[in-house]
Amino acid sequence: MSNRQAEIAAALDVVPPFRDDRALEQEIERRKTFIKNTLRNSGLKVLVLGISGGVDSTTAGRLAQLSVEELRNETGDHDYRFIAVRLPHNTQHDEHDAQDSLKFIRADENDVVNIAGSVLGLGEQVVHLQKLSDARRDFVLGNVKARIRMVAQFAIANANNGLVIGTDHAAEAVMGFFTKFGDGACDLAPLSGLVKGQVRAIARTLGAPEHLVQKTPTADLEELRPGKPDEDAHGVTYAQIDAFLHGEPVSDEAYAIIVRTYDNTRHKRELPLVP
């Protein structure tokens, strides 16, 4: 392991590879305990999470539902509940996966907020967007989608005196692969510190459908490239990112890309600058 690998892994609190199935089960219990304690300590009783149909939100959603069910059993308080929210932009191309995710999670409540009207309305009002090329405007509006989705989740959480869950984990954090104040904004991030392979392992252990466990990750924010794989944007694979974070050898090219991207996206992982 290089010094930079060790430094970055420590900064992101990366969880070491699971030694065996027992270690994996213990990690699941630790994550549920974190969710329960966070909710208890907040004095609130509702959790909210947007469900995309990818493995990250599927895993976080099932952990959230199991946690509130345990809280109800432990306290006898049936006000503890989890709200899963679909946040499509018009019709999502992989809506079938999102529906399969919801069936697996079995949330106390399923909501739908279509963000297309909000994104369109804002896009029409911001004159600066009209000056951009089609590709650049599409990219900027992709970030608008991510931020509108989080606005919707916080609105639902506020209306129900609840907390918003985020799905960020170490393999995304190291690449800064989230929208600042968009999907990077949340009250708690129960997948933090896990690499992508570990998220998949937890999902599989929880019983998630295999096609969701192995689904190609995509942020799906760009209209001109719907379903664009995360790895195309990264320039490296999640297997390479996971190996890097776990201190394993990677190619010189992959190493350089990951370190450069981590350094360039530092601002996303920090609080706003102050004097």
Give the active site residue among 27, 56, 187, 242.
56
Q: Is 232 one of the catalytic residues? A: no
* Number of neighbours of residue 18 by Cβ within 10 angstroms: 18
Cα–Cα dist 237/220, whole Å? 17
Sign of CA dihedral 59, 64, 69, 75: positive
CB of 148 closer than 8 Å to CB of 119 = yes
Cα–Cα dist 83/92, whole Å? 20
- Which contacts of 3-8 are long-range, i.e. CB under 8 A and separated by 24 or more positions? 4/259, 5/244, 5/245, 5/247, 6/247, 8/174, 8/244, 8/245, 8/259, 8/262
CB of 158 closer than 8 Å to CB of 169 = no
Q: Is 25 one of the catalytic residues? A: no
150: tokens are 């989080």
Please report where in the chains the tokens 């009250």 appear, as a residue: 187
Q: Residue 200 carries which side chain, given as an amino acid letter?
A: R
Q: Residue 120 carries which side chain, given as an amino acid letter?
A: L
CB of 119 closer than 8 Å to CB of 147 = no
Tally DSSP H helices, then E strands, for the chain. Answer: 13, 4
Give the active site residue among 108, 172, 187, 242.
172
CB of 107 closer than 8 Å to CB of 60 = no
Catalytic residues: 56, 172
